[in-house]
Amino acid sequence: MAVTAAQVKELRERTGAGMMECKKALEATAGDMARAIEELRKSGRAKADKKASRVAAEGVVLLKTTSDGRHAIMVEINSETDFVARDENFLAFADAVAKTALQANVKDVAALGGLPLLDHANTTIDEARQALIAKVGENIHIRRVANLQSTIATIGTYSHGGRIGVLVELDSDHPALAKDIAMHIAASQPLVVAQDDVPVDVIAKEKEIYRAQAETSGKPEAILEKMVAGKIKKFMDEISLLGQPFVKDPDTLVSALLNKHHVKVVRFVRFAVGEGIEKETENFVEAVMAQVHGS
């Protein structure tokens, strides 16, 4: 059976594979579109597996909320390059994953892969991810998911260009304030809500460092203790949300702003694309030499 140009075009549009790959797949399956897609997915999966070890440190952070605003999901999905992170196929996949996570009330990223991708019948999220890897030629990784729900309050959300996302839960319903606090968290990067939330071992380590720094000054012990105490207080204020100056009014601490509205922050989550991922840096001399020896 002769394969038509229209069939090749349709298969290419549906799979994103190359023209010759589509033609060969159709010829091998006697023009059966479904089987041709399956064959290309199989070959695409093989290609995808080779890319799975490559570092994916670019990408996008997406947020989705229910209509009442009391349930919000945030996901980080990574690609290897910013170019692919802006690709419409990647963004469509990421959007569908976030919607699926919200609808399925996913709390653990490990539970995502086997779920049917929303609006993609008979395709799981992991199958769609593998197909996308084959299409864009880069490793794609669903890194993490955050899930906040409240029975009494709107979840505050803030997204900065798809690169930073924040979810914050207050103990009473103040949507505008929740939004402002989420924006503040995005900008000021607190690690905990209050100083009491800072782990004891973290404080001990900082004290050790500040003590070593202070001892080089040669000052008396009493002065050294005050120097260390001052640095610890500054450190605790900087990493705790309540101790930070509010980003929209630096003369007001976040704690004072919340007290004014008789509100407490229950919890928050902040994602930034690629944070904590060590990006690969290529040694160009080694790369050139490898190419020379390989030729």
Instruction: Give the closest residue to 191 by CA, choosing from 253, 240, 258.
Output: 240
Same domain (yes/no): 43, 111: no
Is residue 259 included in any domain, yes or no?
no
Which has the higher per-residue pLDDT, 48 or 71? 71
Instruction: For residues 12 and 96, state if they share a domain.
Output: no
- Residue 51: is its pLDDT beyond 80? no
Residue 235 lies in a domain: no
Top pLDDT among 199 and 182 is at 182
**77 and 127 assigned to the same domain:** yes
Answer yes or no: do 18 and 73 share one domain. no
Rounded distance between C-alpha atoms, residue 23 and residue 3, angstroms: 7
Left (φ > 0), alpha (ψ -120 to 50) or beta: where does 137 sit?
left
Structural domain including 74 reads 54-149
Task: Give dist(CA 284, CA 295) in Å, integer.
Answer: 17
d(CA 118, CA 104): 10
Whole-model pTM?
0.75
Q: Which residues pair with 156 in a beta bridge?
A: 168
Instruction: Over range 256-281, report the average pLDDT.
Output: 89
| E strand or H helix at 13 | helix 5-15
Q: How far apart are CA 287 and CA 57, in angstroms?
A: 21
Better pLDDT: 76 or 2? 76
Q: What is the mean pLDDT of residues 68-95?
A: 95
pLDDT at 66 over 90: yes
Place of tokens 């990493």: 239
pLDDT band at 295 (very low <50, low <70, confident <90, very high): very low
In this prediction, residue 259 has a pLDDT band, given cuts at 50, 70 and 90, of very high
The CATH number covering residue 46 comes to: 1.10.8.10
- pLDDT tens digit string along 123-169? 999 999 999 998 888 889 999 999 999 999 999 999 999 999 999 99
39 and 61 fall within a common domain:
no
3-state secondary structure of 246: strand
Residue 45 has a pLDDT of: 41
pLDDT given at position 284: 46
pLDDT, tens only, 90-109: 999 999 999 999 999 999 99
